[in-house]
Structures are given as structure tokens and as C-alpha cells.
């Protein structure tokens, strides 16, 4: 009822005729004017009416990472001259990271340096000229052409390597694990992969897929926590999700299959994740404050396709300081901070007939 009342009040203000031009933030219909129409559209978006020609990237005028009735009221106040700038205009924008640092084996910029003596993983063997479909047999699902023998099929669906550098996923719940444990054991992995920078380029084919699916990287999982025959309390995972519905977020899972998301922001101007173009994604996960907290960072290369090492911008970042909870009946509490590596980094998707991946790397990094 309160939402509808606010929407009614905004509608009444439509009789005003004063227009301010030359701004971008607040101009949600991109008509070069900030006026009461923009306020009305924000109010409609807030109550779930999904207005057409709505640019969500211009709507969060108070820069609190959500779009609500406060944004509509601020735009209305700006329109009638009660304020001269939006709170969001005083915020420092997220920096764009340009090439210039060290490059990985694919020529893609590395944001953080590699920890000396650590074992990295990369997908150069996807371009060995031999096409192959990975088996979903847990005992023989490893890629036989992977020199580390770490990459393996998990989940349900298809994993096809074309021999020219591409991994093609499709189906209900396909996953590729970079699993540094030997066989099915859960002791003594070659790499625990605790502080990591994982990079991949991703192409969505078509428009299907679950809203929460997309380019998704998980880190700090144990080897068997997501398997029906394993230990669900071993599923401790932080996810970075570049989602099909056009949002970005982080997701925390302590006990499979449940978890909770944080941030959950629109990222493509209110549109869904673009199809048929290469998009780069980096997930950086590392401990801070004497290993008491964990910092998560997601970077995206929207348009370069990797040219010049990629043009990386920080999409979101978050610190797990113990206030982020997730469902758990395990021995650890629901606000557990996942400070230990689990030996596994993986990519997953959901309900997409086809998604393509290339230039996948996982590295243990020096904590900044």
C-alpha cells in the first residue's frame, strides 16, 4: 500500500512543467531531460511495473546500490529545483583497470601477481586440435588431455571441448571443476587455492538459462561438497555471478544446496546479459586483516574481447566480515567466514542450451 501511495504522489507531481537538461544521472529514459517523467518511471520500476525504455544504470541517484522510491523522490526534487545535484554525483566511480601489468599465457592482464612457487592452471590444452566430450562418470570424468589432470566434469549436462580453444557447456547443471585433489580423496591437494584470481572469457548463445545462471565462478569449495554421494558441509564456496538477468552479485554457500546472495545489482542498464559476444570476467578472492576476513572482487571486460589484455572495470566488491550468513546445520555457524582454501575452483551454468568459454586461468596470488 505504501508503494502505491508513493506512486500516486509521484503521478500527481506530473503537472509540473519545469525541465532541466544536460544531465545523465537521473535521465532514465535517455531523452536528455531530467523531469517528472523520469521520477514516474523510477517509481513504476520500484513497484515492479517494468517500464519500457528504462535505463536502470541512471536510476540509482543516491548511489546506495538499489533503486527505490527514494531515487524517484530525489529526481522529483531535482526537477523542481529543491536540490542541485544528486548524492550519487559526489561518489567516486569504480576505477577502470587498463592494460599495463603482467599478462597471463593468453595475453590477458593479470590484476594481481602470482604467488611464487604456486601451481597455476590454464586451458591451453583446449586448443590441442583434439575435440572431445568429457564423461559424466565421476570415476573417468577428467579431461584426458589436461596435463595436470585436474579439470573434470561435474553436474548434469554436456561439456564439449572443440580442440580449438573452446569449452562448450549445455544442459541442466553443467560444471567444470579445477580439482587439485587426487582421485576422490579429500586430503593433501596439490594446491589449496585460497587467495585466487580466476579469469575466463564467456559467450552466451541464445536467450535461455535461469536468471541466476550465466558466467559463474566458484572458489574455496571442497572436492565433494556439491555431490550427492559427498559431504554437503564440504561445499563452502564463494561465487561471483555475472547473471543472465543482467545483474551481478556474490553468493555464499556453506552447506549445499542453499546459500545467500549479497549486492545483487543491475549491471547492463536494465538489459539481460548480452548474447553472442565475448565478455571477460575475473573473480578475485583473498584473505585480509590477518586472515580474519575475506575480500571478494568481480571485474568485467565488457567490450574489448581481450584486445590489449582486456579493458577491466570493477563491477562489485564485498568484504565478508562475519555479518553475511548462509543456511547451515554443519559444525560451523551460519556466519562462518570461509578463510580456508578448499582445493577446488569451478565454473558452472544453469539451464542454458549452449554457453562458450575460453582463456580460463586460475592462479594463487600475492595478497595485495
Digit-coded pLDDT (tens) for 79-106: 888 777 777 554 434 444 544 459 999 9
Q: 53 and 130: one domain?
A: no
Helices first, then strands: H and E counts in the chain = 3, 17
Among 73-77, 239-243, 257-261, 271-275, which stretch is predicted with the lowest mean pLDDT?
Answer: 73-77
Instruction: Choose one of 48, 75, 90: the last residue of a domain.
Output: 90
Flag whether pLDDT at 63 surpasses 80.
no
Q: 311 and 332: one domain?
A: yes
Q: 299 and 154: one domain?
A: yes
Among 42-46, 158-162, 257-261, 340-344, which stretch is predicted with the lowest mean pLDDT?
Answer: 42-46
pLDDT of 17 reads: 35
Q: 11 and 44: one domain?
A: yes
CA gap 269, 24 in Å, rounded: 13
Are 240 and 217 contacting, i.e. CB atoms less than 8 angstroms apart?
yes
Q: 335 and 191: one domain?
A: yes
Per-residue pLDDT band at 138 (split at 50, 70, 90): low
Q: 131 and 66: one domain?
A: no
pLDDT of 70 reads: 82
Q: 112 and 67: one domain?
A: no
Q: 42 and 190: one domain?
A: no
The pTM for the full model equals 0.73
Distances in whole angstroms, Cα of residue 211 to Cα of each of 50, 52, 53, 207, 350: 16, 20, 21, 10, 9
Among 27-36, 251-260, 276-285, 344-353, which stretch is predicted with the lowest mean pLDDT?
Answer: 27-36
Which class for 343: exposed (0-12), middle (13-18), buried (19 or more C-beta within 10 A)?
buried
Q: 257: cis peptide before it, omega within 30°?
A: yes
Structural domain including 13 reads 2-90
Top-confidence residue, 10 or 302 = 302
Q: 358 and 229: one domain?
A: yes
Flag whether pLDDT at 317 surpasses 50.
yes
Q: 313 and 226: one domain?
A: yes
CATH of the domain at 19: 1.10.1330.10
Domain count, the chain: 2
CA gap 58, 88 in Å, rounded: 10
Quote the mean pLDDT of the chain. 87
CA gap 29, 25 in Å, rounded: 11
Top-confidence residue, 42 or 362 = 362
Amino acid at each position: 500500500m505504501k508503494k502505491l501511495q508513493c506512486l500516486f504522489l509521484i503521478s500527481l507531481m506530473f503537472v509540473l512543467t519545469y525541465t532541466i537538461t544536460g544531465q545523465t544521472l537521473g535521465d532514465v529514459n535517455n531523452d536528455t531531460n531530467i523531469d517528472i517523467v523520469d521520477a514516474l518511471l523510477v517509481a513504476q520500476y520500484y513497484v515492479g511495473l517494468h517500464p519500457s525504455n528504462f535505463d536502470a544504470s541512471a536510476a540509482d541517484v543516491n548511489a546506495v546500490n538499489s533503486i527505490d522510491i527514494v531515487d524517484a523522490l530525489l529526481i522529483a526534487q531535482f526537477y523542481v529545483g529543491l536540490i542541485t545535484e544528486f548524492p550519487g554525483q559526489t561518489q567516486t566511480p569504480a576505477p577502470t583497470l587498463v592494460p599495463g601489468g603482467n599478462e597471463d599465457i593468453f595475453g590477458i592482464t593479470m590484476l594481481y601477481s602470482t604467488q611464487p612457487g604456486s601451481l597455476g592452471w590454464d586451458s591451453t590444452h583446449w586448443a590441442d586440435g583434439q575435440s572431445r566430450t568429457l564423461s559424466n562418470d565421476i570415476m573417468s570424468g577428467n579431461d584426458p588431455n589436461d596435463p595436470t589432470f585436474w579439470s573434470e566434469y561435474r553436474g548434469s549436462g554436456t561439456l564439449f571441448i572443440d580442440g580449438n580453444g573452446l569449452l562448450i557447456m549445455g544442459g541442466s547443471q553443467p560444471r567444470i571443476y579445477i580439482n587439485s585433489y587426487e582421485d576422490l580423496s579429500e586430503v593433501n591437494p596439490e594446491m589449496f587455492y585460497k587467495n585466487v584470481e580466476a579469469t575466463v572469457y564467456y559467450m552466451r548463445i541464445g536467450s535461455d538459462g535461469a536468471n541466476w545462471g550465466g558466467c559463474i565462478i566458484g572458489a574455496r569449495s571442497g572436492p565433494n561438497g556439491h555431490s550427492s554421494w559427498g559431504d554437503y558441509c564440504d561445499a563452502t564456496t564463494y561465487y561471483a555471478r555475472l547473471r543472465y538477468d543482467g545483474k551481478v552479485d556474490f553468493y555464499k554457500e556453506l552447506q549445499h544446496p542453499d546459500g545467500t546472495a549479497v549486492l545483487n545489482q543491475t549491471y547492463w542498464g536494465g538489459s539481460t546479459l548480452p548474447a553472442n559476444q565475448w565478455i571477460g570476467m575475473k573473480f578475485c578472492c583473498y584473505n585480509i586483516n590477518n586472515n580474519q576476513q575475506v575480500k571478494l572482487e568481480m571485474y568485467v571486460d565488457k567490450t574489448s574481447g581481450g584486445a590489449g589484455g582486456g579493458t577491466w572495470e570493477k563491477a562489485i566488491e564485498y568484504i565478508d566480515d562475519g555479518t553475511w550468513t548462509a543456511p547451515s546445520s554443519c559444525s560451523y555457524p551460519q556466519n562462518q567466514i570461509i578463510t580456508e582454501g578448499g582445493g577446488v575452483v569451478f565454473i558452472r551454468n544453469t539451464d542454458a542450451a549452449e554457453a562458450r568459454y575460453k582463456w580460463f586461468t586460475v592462479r594463487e596470488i600475492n595478497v595485495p
